Chains A and B, each alone.
Chain A
Amino acid sequence: MKNVLTAVKLFLVLGVATGLVYPLVVWGGARLFFRGKAEGSIVTVSGRPVGSALVGQAFSGPGYFHPRPSATGYGTMPSGGSDLSPASAALRAAEARRAAAGDGDSPDMLCASASGLDPDISPEAALAQAGRVARARGASKVDIISLVKAFIEPRQFGFLGEPRANVLLLNLELDRKYPYAGK
């Protein structure tokens, strides 16, 4: 019985230390040094939040670079993947459909991401869309390609992860440099 009381007390005390003090310390430090990142890396256009630099969003217009397929349609509540097996007929059908969509046939554009919110596409996928974007915006393909190349993030420190392009940031730059008349 004494054990039970001690157990409850110790659990509560450790709970306060690890469940209140610790996250508050991290929060305080984060607020001090990385405030924008700690609050979701929100991107604003003329003061209005238009998304998070880290969270993918849906684009379907021809004048925008398109993101990867998403099992949640870029809904965030909740996030998630398709959980389809690579051997499943459903995935093969989806891949065939996506290949016909005209966003190129790099693996990332044929396959839905794990989170449903992948903010990035591969450099190949971005370059494959450059012609369509250029036509829709009345810009030269060469200009769009050089824009894409400027937005390709290399592997972190030269070796970690994969090279990629952030779709939202790329599209924001498009809107800035090549304003888009049509929706």
Chain B
Amino acid sequence: MNVYDTLQVLIYAAALAALARPLGNWLASALQNDSPLQARVFGPLERLIWRACGINPGVQMNWKTYSWALLAFNAAGFVLLFAQQLFQHRLPLNPNGDGPVGFWLAFNTAASFMTNTNWQAYAGETTMSYLTQMLGLAVHNFTSAATGIAVMAAMTRGLAGGKAAQLGNFWGDVTRTTTRVLLPLSLVLAFALVGQGVVQTFGPNVRVKTLEGAGQVIPLGPVASQEAIKQLGSNGGGFFNANSAHPLENPTPLSNFLEMLAILLLPAACVFAYGKMGAGARQARALFAVMFLVWAAGLAGALYSEYGSAAASGGTALMEGKETRFGVANSVLWAVSTTAASNGSVNAMQSSLSPAAGGIAMFNMMLGEVIFGGVGSGMYGMLLFVLLTVFLCGLMVGRTPEYLGKKVEKREMQMALTGILAPSAMLLLGAALSCAVPAALASLSAKGPHGFSELLYAWASAANNNGSAFAGLNANVPFYNIGLGLAMITARFMVIVPCLAIAGSMGAKQPSPPSAGTLPTDTATFGALLTGVIVIVGGLTFFPALTLGPLAEQLLMFKGGAF
């Protein structure tokens, strides 16, 4: 690493830390609707939307109503996107004449974008029409992000509210998140990206004759608008196959910096919104510190691996699967951030990272996408780990565990463990099944530990709604389209519904003032305990699998072995 590499990493971390809190306050104000400025600017549009839909956002929902509204909203989006792909050849705005998307691929993609995963078993530029991209996939980029934030809002209200806390209104939360946060941020970022060269046009692809006389197609489309929300909403689904490595999707170091900042911006802001909405600034700071430190540790490990592996293999920098304009440091910074958050976009090919760095990317996902995680989902996922930590500490000292003054009891623990274990189970069972089914093994492009890493990465990505891939895997086969599709849906809603159930049961409890025996949850001690629980749960569950894949491969590489 040279001084520029270090400088860019530090500037990135500083920008993230500086912007997260003000944006979190803005987000909290949007969800609580307590800012006269926001109400004046965005109120008229919102009232128009609600009148058109017959919605009264003032009606409070209990956790079951909230869940049903959320599930209906997501199901509606799923059906619309599924159908749109199957019939895109009959719909307008298809200047390149893309045919209908295959049935199971359309299923997989609809599941993927509904769940904020953006796993892509297709190449955008050869598969999806402009209309499917912008009125299908990009719409889900907004709605799935808004869904995540809504769940975080409801859970926050349940945990931090007083007795008989009100959870809010799903329609209101989703709308206000979209109008006050996602759309304005996306507009700003989209214009900045076009200024750097990201395309935004509805015209057909341009055919050129190169200087040496060959034909080349310059793929176009409404990319910038989609790129902005893809990065901000922890979605990650690229307009083009190469995702943010594609020069028309991420053309300059500045566009790269902005897109990379957008990966962690809202997830980090959610932590401060959680504090602002009632949990308190000290709680938010402690959780932010835990996330930041685990992210930084992963980054340090990945950078060490990338530069160390290069030194071990003769000093040639590992530039395979990386772009010249970004170099090694920006590629690794992106890889770690995109897997710590459940974004899943890439500016370099994950599969060509040094094995240990690829392993850290996998481990980030396996932790349950709570190291900042997805927008909203990182925060509510983290709260499950907080409840688990509080409970374990309560067992150790023999007192009834409490969080924010409310007793944590059997039901909450059942729900928290469901939310923590469901994705892990999908991941391990899916990976095990893939090792046993010939049709699944036929999709691998590499032999040995790297082949195993390809399938392990796929399941880690789907079962934690990340969406990045070791893209050597041929994922567009029925086994993976169906299996990963089901994993994405299960992982998303088997976490969301337990979180809302916790919001319901905790919301009904009377908070009691802290006593001498209360375990404070805003201290460094608690932060260390929480980090331990997250890493140990992740480590114990996945260490054996990681040993067979990235660890074995890294050791082989250091020995100079190739396969």
Contacts and interface: CB of A to CB of B under 8 A. Distances in A.
Interface of A: 3-4, 6-15, 17-20, 22-23, 25-27, 29-30, 33-34, 37-42, 45, 48-61, 64, 68, 74-89, 91-92, 95, 105, 107-108, 110-122, 155-157, 159-162, 164, 168, 171-172, 175, 183
B400 interface: no
Contacts of A87: 355, 450, 553-554, 556-557, 561-563
A77 to B, nearest CB: 5
Nearest to B48: A13
11 contacts: A3-B72, A15-B139, A27-B222, A41-B197, A68-B324, A76-B125, A80-B349, A86-B309, A113-B321, A160-B8, A164-B325
A77 B247 contact: no
Nearest to A42: B206
Contacts of B470: 83
Given A19-B139, A115-B242, A162-B327, A76 B254 contact: no
Interface of B: 4, 7-8, 11, 49, 52-55, 65, 68-69, 72-73, 75-77, 80, 123-126, 134-136, 138-139, 142-143, 146, 171, 174-175, 178-179, 182-183, 186-187, 190-191, 194-203, 206-214, 216-220, 222, 224-226, 229, 240-242, 245-248, 251-254, 256-257, 309, 313, 316-327, 330-331, 346-349, 351-355, 445-446, 450, 470-472, 553-554, 556-557, 561-563
B190 A26 contact: yes
B484 to A, nearest CB: 18
A10 to B, nearest CB: 5
Q: What 6 A-B pairs come out closest when comparing CB atoms?
A: A161-B253, A78-B123, A114-B245, A83-B472, A7-B72, A160-B253
Given A4-B76, A64-B211, A83 B55 contact: no
B222 A113 contact: no
Contact of A114 (B4, B134, B347): B347
B497 to A, nearest CB: 15
B322 A49 contact: no
Contacts of B472: 83-84
A183 B211 CA distance: 10
Contacts of B197: 37, 41, 53-54
Contact of B324 (A91, A122, A159): A122
A164 B324 contact: yes
B403 to A, nearest CB: 31
A52 B196 CA distance: 14
Given A9-B53, A78-B125, A38 B324 contact: no
Contact of B219 (A6, A23, A76, A107): A76
Q: Of residues A17, A38, A115, A162, which shows the largest number of chain B Cβ atoms within 10 Å of its Cβ?
A: A115
B142 A18 contact: yes
Given A20-B135, A108-B324, 19 more contacts: A6-B171, A13-B52, A38-B199, A49-B208, A50-B209, A58-B210, A78-B241, A79-B246, A84-B352, A86-B352, A87-B355, A107-B317, A113-B245, A115-B246, A118-B247, A155-B4, A161-B326, A162-B324, A162-B326
Contacts of A4: 72, 75-76
A89 to B, nearest CB: 4
Given A4-B76, A85-B450, A40 B123 contact: no
B392 to A, nearest CB: 38
Contacts of A64: 211-212
B224 A51 contact: no
Contacts of B178: 14, 17-18
Contact of A54 (B8, B201, B251, B317): B251
Given A18-B142, A56-B247, A76 B217 contact: yes
Contacts of A9: 52-54
Contacts of B73: 7, 10-11
B213 to A, nearest CB: 8
A111 B320 contact: yes
A13 B53 contact: yes
A86 B226 contact: no
B190 A51 contact: no
A6 B201 contact: no
Nearest to B77: A11
Contacts of B218: 40, 42, 49, 51-52, 55, 76
A117 B242 contact: yes
Contact of B247 (A48, A54, A59, A122): A54
B426 to A, nearest CB: 24
A50 B200 contact: no
Given A39-B201, A83-B470, A114-B322, A34 B138 contact: no
A30 to B, nearest CB: 4
A171 B322 contact: no
Nearest to A164: B324
A114 B200 contact: no
B472 to A, nearest CB: 4
A81 B53 contact: no
B195 A34 contact: yes
B171 A10 contact: yes
A18 B139 contact: yes
Contacts of B556: 87
Given A51-B208, A55-B247, A22 B225 contact: yes
Q: Of residues A15, A17, A18, A64, which shows the largest number of chain B Cβ atoms within 10 Å of its Cβ?
A: A18
A86 B217 CA distance: 30
Nearest to B124: A78
Contact of A23 (B52, B214, B226, B355): B226
Given A7-B75, A82-B352, A85-B355, A162 B242 contact: no
Contact of A39 (B203, B245, B313): B203
Given A14-B49, A14-B143, A162-B325, A19 B138 contact: yes
A6 B53 contact: yes
Contacts of A12: 80
Nearest to B3: A159
B214 A57 contact: yes
A156 B254 contact: yes
A162 to B, nearest CB: 4
Contact of B183 (A22, A54, A59): A22
B351 A85 contact: yes
